[in-house]
Amino acid sequence: MLLTTLDMTAGSFETATGWAAKPEGMCKGDACVPAPGTMSPTGALDVAAVADRLGMALVADEKSGVWALGPESGGRALTTAVVPEIELPDVDGNPFNLSTMHGRKVLLVAWASW
């Protein structure tokens, strides 16, 4: 996940990562991690502190002035069995949202030209 700023609100962080700020902490699916003191009263999020709590690597690329935020870690690759929001384009660039497949079983297969 590429970030052009660390000045994020809880809402923009949730859109980017799927982790929502709730009274019990940072939550994704049915998993919650306590994260006291990471949010200001105005709703601004201390991204570095939240990343630390969730085990997300926050790596700065000083050359281009961006950051990359890795996924949560310290457990398994999946934190929840609920499929996250996934929107990807087809080869012509038309976006497709995986949630439109609700109601059907889906076998999602990763492949590559290489």
Partner 1 sequence: MWQALHEELEPLGLSIVTVALDLDPEKARTWIDAASPTHPSLVDSHHRIDELLGISNVPMAVWIDEMGTLVRPAEGASIQPSQLAAIEITDEMPPKMQAVLREFKQVPDTAEAYRAAIIDWASRGADSPYAMSPDEVIAASQPRSADHSRAAACFELGIHAEQRGDHEAAIIWWKQAHELFPENWTYKRQAWTIESTPDGADSDKAQEVQEVYGTSWSEAFLATGGANYTVAPNL
Q: Out of 34, 36, 42, 109, name the contact with partner 1 by CB under 8 A.
A: 109
Q: Residue 62 interacts with partner 1 (CB under 8 A)?
A: no
The CA distance from 52 to 36, in Å, is 12
Q: Which stretch binds partner 1 (CB under 8 A): 6-14, 19-27, 39-47, 100-108?
A: 100-108
- Which residues make Cβ contacts (< 8 Å) with residue 85, sequence separation at least 6? 18, 97, 98, 99
Q: Cβ(41)–Cβ(7) under 8 Å?
A: no
- Residues making contact with partner 1 (CB under 8 A): 1-2, 55-59, 61, 63-64, 66, 68-84, 86, 88-91, 93, 96, 98-99, 101-114
